[in-house]
Structure 1
Amino acid sequence: MTTTSDGSWLSSLVDAVVGLMDVIGPVGAGLAIALENLFPPLPSEAILPMAGLAASRGAFTLAEAIIWTTLGSIVGALALYGLGAWLGLRRLRSIASRMPLIKVEDVDRTVAWFDRHGGKAVFFGRMIPIFRSLISIPAGVVRMPLWRFGLLTLAGSLIWNTAFVLAGFYLGEAWHIVETYADILQYVVIAVVAIAIVWFIVVRVRHLSVDHRDPESDAA
């Protein structure tokens, strides 16, 4: 199967993982996507179209490509859900209390937000680069019912995986067009996250400076 090797470590990793599809067929595609969930730098935007491309060449069927990659998404998401459940709210609050610029109240507010909007976050998060993997951890921390988490993950992953597998199936060797636009989306997400982090740090430092100059605010 044609790969995207350009000499970089990431391309080499993609080539190695995608090679699983040549060896064990659609199961390899599912395993590759499970690994992508656990290792976000591994791009599903490259693996999924390649699975579609393999299906178009008759290596396996289109249905097998979609089914196995979606199963891989669920397995990877459940592993991260388990990590979040192991971490737990108590341990997370303890970690936050020892981190600079982070307050325990930040964790509590985030958990409260997730309690209200967790379903939408899990569903739509499965279709956003980077968050595809990370969204499973807070779901585990708040112990979202496993059946609900599984169904939302299945629905969101099925939409995302089907879109990219179909792109590879119908575009063939031109599937790189999809990867280009997916990369743009990923860069936008990274930029938004970076801006949000910088804004949080600036605001928190300002608040700490005010508290330091006004000791009475600490007492309050």
Structure 2
Amino acid sequence: MRIINKKRADGTYIYESRYQQIAVEMAKKIAEGWYEVGEKINARSTIATAFNVSPETARKAMKILVDLGIVVSQQGSGTYVASREKAQLFYNRYQSTVSIQQIRTEITNSIRSQQRELERLSQLLDTLAGQTKRDHSTMSIVPYDMRVDENCRFLGRTIGELNIWQQTGATIVAVKRGDEYKMSPGPYEKIENGDVLLFVGDDHSTQRMMNLFNAPEELKETENE
């Protein structure tokens, strides 16, 4: 019987020496009752043959079990099972250690994944900043927002009709309507009560947008003349 290395959650393995693996497997068998307390275990025939290892590797595995009091070695007689409880305790502690190692690995992998995502986000922001700088050297890449209420004189009119870029230097990049966002709205998108307009522009664009949307009703009549 061959014992494989314990596999971590990330697909890698927890490497242990062969005799340590055999000691764990023998402790498990003793705990499960494969061997009775007082039963003799011959390292050469029982372990070396069963696990296809050298007698020296089998001897080292038994040495671990002797040191833990799971088996006892009697001079000139052989090795005997001494305690099923100690075998169970050793196996449980081993399993707990493996679980802790797996959790630690998963946490480490999660942190590394988040770091990669942050690096990717940083690269995207750098790309966006460079593109925005090329297109509009003075334009802010952080959108401003402005809520439209029932008193807005542009309700029902389309973005295209307002000529916002020509009047304010701002560009509407999204319209938040309820819980939904309409990204890059076209010129036929109508302004509705409760909309939140997200726009980008230079430092003066915000004030111009406020002036445009909050201008008195008389201005509308002047525009239509």
Q: TM-score, normalised by structure 1?
A: 0.32
Structure scoring higher RCO (CA < 8 A, sep ≥ 6) equals: 1
Q: What's the TM-score once normalised by structure 2's chain length?
A: 0.31
More strand by share: 2
Rg larger in structure: 2
